[in-house]
Amino acid sequence: MAKREEWSSRQGFILATIGSAVGLGNIWRFSYVTGENGGAAFLLAYLFFVAIVGLPIVIAELAIGRRGQGDATSAFISIAPRSGWAAPGLIGVAASFLVLTFYAVISGWALKYFAGAGTGVLWQAASADAGGYFQRFVANPGEPIIWQATVLAVTMLVVVGGVQRGIERLNRILMPALALIMAGLAVYSLLQAGSSKGVAFLFTPRWELLLRPDIYLAAMGQAFFSLGVGMAVFITYGSYLPKSFRLPTMAIMIIAGDILIAILAGLLIFPAVFAHGLDPKAGAELVFITLPQIFLAMPAGKIVGTIFFGLLVAAAVTSMVSLLEVPVAYLMHRFGLRRWPATVWTGAIAFLLGLPSAMSYGLLKNIKWRDHQILDNVDYVVSNFFLPTGAIMIALFVGWRWNRPDAIAQANLGDGITANLWIWSLRVGAPVLMAVVLARSFFA
């Protein structure tokens, strides 16, 4: 058997996992879900879930992956043979795949904006009517599909390239560049007149909102989506990890990077939303309507804007790479497919299943549930229900089924108080919390 691919360096691994974690979830999804759920109170709930539930589970997933040295399902089976515990791995593979279907659509929007920014079409159209430009684009029956297909094709090329050559090399350059430019833009946005309303929206909680159960559901879904928890990503990437890497340190760095980019996105977007008199509750289109307006109003904005949309596409693609890598690794390992057919098949089916999402603001715009279109609902169901369900099972698996000394050793946790905290948060804390939030939202 060929030696399993491995990450070439610690830094390469961290960047690649941050590349997977950081994506449209931190910019597009974070801003619109935060906007819809009232700002600062939601941000608090989100940070709570990231730190209290996300951290132990990220460590757990990495540990399962490294110990299992296979795909997302075989990892469970190798730890607990003949026990039917492959289920959370399967849920993860399914979730990654489903997210990929609509993620490609939004990534396609980002690519369209990048192309439009580069050629100048975007600036012309947006200076007349940024909202109208976006609406016309998504309502077009064919155009969103072409962009969706293009982004998927690019992602497939990277995934066919394999772990080191493709994924690692790309992230090494893109992630630091993205963080830098976003920090610059956030500072700019904060210096604008009227930015204080946006800052208050993001940082001054309206405490009464914390009484609403749906905030917790949304915050949990956002935390999981944005980290990529419950989607077998960390299990799959963890399987390429050498023994010498310490998991807790890496988990903390991944999480810190993810939070940082989300907060920068908030600092960049909300001041502008208020400065331009837009509604923070505008929904999925928030980023695509506000951002061009920010760029149009700033000096050298067209150049900065083009770079920004370029990096947004890059962040989206690095996330799509890992979304696609999960089912591909599964097919390769379980069914002996070679990398390229596995990639082509998965990509093609994801494209087809993504078509309703691509058409959800055009031909299919009248198909609604919860007053939202198809794409938002696929996202809602997968993020708020699939991911927590997978995460609960993973927590219980590591907490109760995996033998404790092995789990703790794999997670590099020593045997002190941290190890106990970790085990008990997986055994009881995290699953109970998640179950309560899920149950509340069913019976609310």
Which residues would be at the binding site for ligand PHE (CB under 6 A)? 20-21, 23-26, 96, 99, 225-226, 228, 231, 233, 319, 322-323
Dist. CA 284–CA 106, nearest whole Å: 9
Residue 21: CB minimum distance to ligand PHE, A: 5
Dist. CA 171–CA 315, nearest whole Å: 9
CB closer to ligand PHE out of 275 and 315: 315
CB closer to ligand PHE out of 274 and 308: 308
Q: How far is CA 200 from CA 39, 197, 203, 283, 353, in A?
A: 9, 5, 5, 20, 40
Residue 148: CB minimum distance to ligand PHE, A: 16
CB closer to ligand PHE out of 22 and 130: 22
CB closer to ligand PHE out of 20 and 377: 20
Of 165, 118, 195, 159, whose CA–CA distance to 317 is shortest?
159
CB closer to ligand PHE out of 285 and 407: 285
Q: Label residues 278-311 b or e (16+ Cβ within 10 Å = b).
A: bebebebbbbbbbbbbbbeebeebbebbbbbbbb
CB closer to ligand PHE out of 99 and 413: 99
Residue 277: CB minimum distance to ligand PHE, A: 28
CB closer to ligand PHE out of 216 and 234: 234
First to last CA, the chain: 53
Tally Cβ neighbours within 10 Å of residue 24. Answer: 22
Residue 95: CB minimum distance to ligand PHE, A: 8
Residue 230: CB minimum distance to ligand PHE, A: 9
Q: How is residue 363 written in tokens? A: 């031909």
Dist. CA 153–CA 150, nearest whole Å: 5
Residue 127: CB minimum distance to ligand PHE, A: 29
Taking the CA of residue 182 as centre, how many other CA atoms within 13 Å lie in the half-sphere pointing to its CB? 28
CB closer to ligand PHE out of 321 and 392: 321
Using CB atoms, what's the residue nearest to ligand PHE? 25
Residue 46: CB minimum distance to ligand PHE, A: 12
Residue 299 contacts by C-beta under 8 Å, 6 or more apart in sequence?
none
CB 245 within 8 A of CB 13: yes
Residue 268: CB minimum distance to ligand PHE, A: 16
CB closer to ligand PHE out of 95 and 275: 95
φ and ψ of 313, to 5 deg: -60, -45
Of 342, 352, 355, whose CA–CA distance to 159 is shortest?
342
Residue whose structure tokens are 């969103």 = 144
The total number of residues written for the chain in this structure: 444
Residue 248: CB minimum distance to ligand PHE, A: 20
Q: How far is CA 234 from CA 7, 25, 61, 423, in A?
A: 13, 16, 5, 18
